[in-house]
Chain A
Amino acid sequence: DAGVTQSPTHLIKTRGQHVTLRCSPISGHKSVSWYQQVLGQGPQFIFQYYEKEERGRGNFPDRFSARQFPNYSSELNVNALLLGDSALYLCASSLLAAHYEQYFGPGTRLTVT
């Protein structure tokens, strides 16, 4: 069974640019969450989507946005990139909106120069 997949694996962008990160959840999972992990820290919650609706948002600026598609895949968009946006972006999926177990993908490593 395929796990959570994310693309791209690595990405290098310049300050001021925008970026789109993609996530495909495990088949049958309707909930997708996004996390940002800065080096040396634990992941920080950005968004949760369930059945294509935003269910939760972390303490991130409006430059961060996301959406979920009818097939439950998801995109995370970040506009006007800052150096501080350099991080590992993780996607997690689960069966239900608040299931006990979340399954994480390997992440997308974003470097902003």
Chain B
Amino acid sequence: DAKTTQPNSMESNEEEPVHLPCNHSTISGTDYIHWYRQLPSQGPEYVIHGLTSNVNNRMASLAIAEDRKSSTLILHRATLRDAAVYYCILRNQGGSEKLVFGKGTKLTVNP
């Protein structure tokens, strides 16, 4: 399973942008980059995914490096509700359903 590396923790202030980095130097050409987050006392929830191009949705933006060896999840204006553990996951196109979670980045949002 392709591996990702994320910082253990990050801190942000409310209403400021947050950039959550992820390194995936062994990514293959058919691996999609997925982000999930897990709020306290809840199951993980899907945030966003992408292959090569930057992606935007209502929750966040995903910026993917040109060589695809790293990516950044961007929360444009952090709220207290965004405090969670964020997981960066690689999934092979056409591969199995399973998600391989690392330890993720625990994001703390200060009021």
Contact = CB atoms under 8 A, between A and B. Distances in A.
A16 interface: no
Interface string A55-89: 11010000000000000000000000000000000
A27 interface: no
B17 interface: no
A43 to B, nearest CB: 5
Query: Interface size for chain A: under 10, 10 to 19, 20 to 34, or 35 or more residues?
Result: 20 to 34
Interface in A77-113: 90, 92, 94, 97-107
Interface string B14-37: 000000000000000000101000
Contacts of B91: 98, 100
Contact of B96 (A41, A98, A107): A98
Interface of B: 32, 34, 41-46, 49, 85, 87, 91, 94-104
